[in-house]
Amino acid sequence: MELNDNFPDHHYISESENHLCFDTGLFTKNFEPIYAFLTPNEPGRKAKWQLNGFYKKSEYELRQIAVLPKRASYFNSFEDLIYDTRLDLRVNIDHILDDETNKMRIPEKYRESSNLPMMFMGLALEYAKIRIKENYKAAVPQYFKGKIQFLIPISLGDPSVVDLSLAVGKEGGIYTGHTCLTLDMAYNNARLIAKPESDWLIGKTSPD
- 96 found inside a domain: yes
| Nearest of 97, 130, 131, 100 to residue 115 by alpha carbon | 97
- 16 found inside a domain: yes
- Give the pLDDT of residue 50: 95
**82, 169: one domain:** yes
**47, 126: one domain:** no
- 2 found inside a domain: no
**30, 131: one domain:** no
3-state SS assignment for residue 114: coil
- 35 found inside a domain: yes
- Give the pLDDT of residue 59: 94
Q: How far apart are CA 26 and CA 37, in angstroms?
A: 14
Task: Look at phi and psi of residue 86 and say left if phi exceeds 0, alpha if psi is from -120 to 50, else beta.
Answer: alpha
**93, 161: one domain:** yes
**180, 89: one domain:** yes
Q: What is the pLDDT of residues 38-62, one digit of tens each?
A: 999 999 899 999 999 999 999 999 9
- Say if CB 79 and CB 21 are below 8 A apart: no
**87, 186: one domain:** yes
**128, 34: one domain:** no
**88, 39: one domain:** no
Number of domains in the chain: 2
**103, 154: one domain:** yes
Q: How far apart are CA 106 and CA 138, in angstroms?
A: 19
Per-residue pLDDT of the chain (208 residues; tens, 9 = 90+): 344 444 444 588 999 999 999 988 788 888 899 999 999 999 989 999 999 999 999 999 999 898 999 877 655 655 677 899 999 999 999 999 999 999 999 999 999 999 999 999 988 999 999 999 998 889 999 888 778 899 999 999 998 899 999 999 998 889 999 999 999 999 888 877 666 667 787 655 444 4
| Nearest of 154, 169, 159, 180 to residue 97 by alpha carbon | 180
- 99 found inside a domain: yes
**13, 115: one domain:** no
Structural domain that includes position 110:
78-191
Chain centroid to CA 24? 14
- Give the pLDDT of residue 81: 78
- 73 found inside a domain: no
- Give the pLDDT of residue 95: 92
**53, 135: one domain:** no
- Give the pLDDT of residue 116: 92
